[in-house]
């Protein structure tokens, strides 16, 4: 009777954390560095890192656990990029006038789910930038609001005091923990026919 193969899942379980650290470092550098690459190069870099991490993860875990783990890993890495964006300081503040308000209802799924309204505010600001703020709190046309922004336009503007990385960081941690757990539960590959022969 053959002994079961050990579960050599240590490197695979570490992959989500390592990938998240690399993706966060790349995104944060792209958002903050004075010598950061263009938006096209920055996005391509994130895409390459994400695809490489997901490919290695799925190849090592396999099966349905590998499929769902890869999905969680991809979403966790995207949440990591969003966290880097929201962690980035927006060094300037402008007082702007709300020119137009567009509302969009976002429906949550599941029992007892509610509808959340997101607002896009078109703005008139000194110097013409920023021109809009997305996912902003409700504001009336003609109202003055203070908007934090990056003069080099590396990150999206936001209403002053509204940017917090806590929610996206929490989602990133939950998703990365889920794919790490799935990596630890992977089953060893079945013995090949040649190994079963006497």
Same domain? 32 vs 80: yes
Same domain? 76 vs 56: yes
133-143 average pLDDT score: 85
| Count of beta carbons in the 10 Å neighbourhood of residue 48 | 11
Residue appearing with tokens 């992977």: 186
Distance of CA 1 to the CA centre of its chain: 47
**pLDDT at residue 195, as a whole number:** 47
Joined tokens for residue 155: 């990150």
How many distinct structural domains can be found in the chain?
A: 2
HEC letters along 29-43: HHHHCCCCCCHHHHH
pLDDT tens digits, 15-71: 999 999 999 999 988 887 777 788 889 899 999 999 999 999 999 888 888 899 999
Same domain? 96 vs 126: yes
> Are 176 and 12 within 8 A, CB to CB?
no
Q: Strand runs (DSSP E) across the chain, as ranges? A: 92-107, 115-124, 132-136, 144-149, 158-159
CATH number at residue 130: 2.40.50
């Amino acid at each position: 009777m053959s002994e079961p193969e050990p579960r050599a899942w240590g490197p695979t379980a570490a992959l989500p954390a390592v990938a998240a650290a690399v993706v966060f470092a790349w995104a944060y550098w792209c958002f903050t560095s004075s010598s950061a690459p263009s938006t096209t190069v920055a996005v391509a870099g994130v895409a390459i890192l994400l695809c490489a991490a997901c490919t290695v993860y799925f190849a090592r875990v396999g099966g349905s656990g590998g499929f769902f783990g890869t999905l969680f890993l991809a979403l966790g890495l995207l949440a990591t990029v969003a966290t880097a964006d929201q962690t980035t300081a927006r060094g300037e503040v402008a007082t702007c006038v709300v020119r137009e308000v567009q509302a969009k209802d976002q429906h949550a799924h599941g029992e007892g789910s509610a509808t959340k309204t997101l607002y896009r505010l078109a703005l008139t600001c000194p110097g013409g930038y920023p021109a809009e703020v997305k996912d902003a709190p409700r504001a009336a046309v003609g109202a003055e609001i203070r908007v934090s922004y990056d003069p080099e336009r590396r990150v999206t503007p936001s209403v002053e005091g509204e940017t917090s990385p806590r929610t996206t960081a929490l989602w990133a941690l939950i998703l990365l923990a889920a794919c790490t757990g799935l990596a630890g539960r992977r089953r060893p590959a079945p013995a090949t026919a040649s190994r079963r022969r006497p």
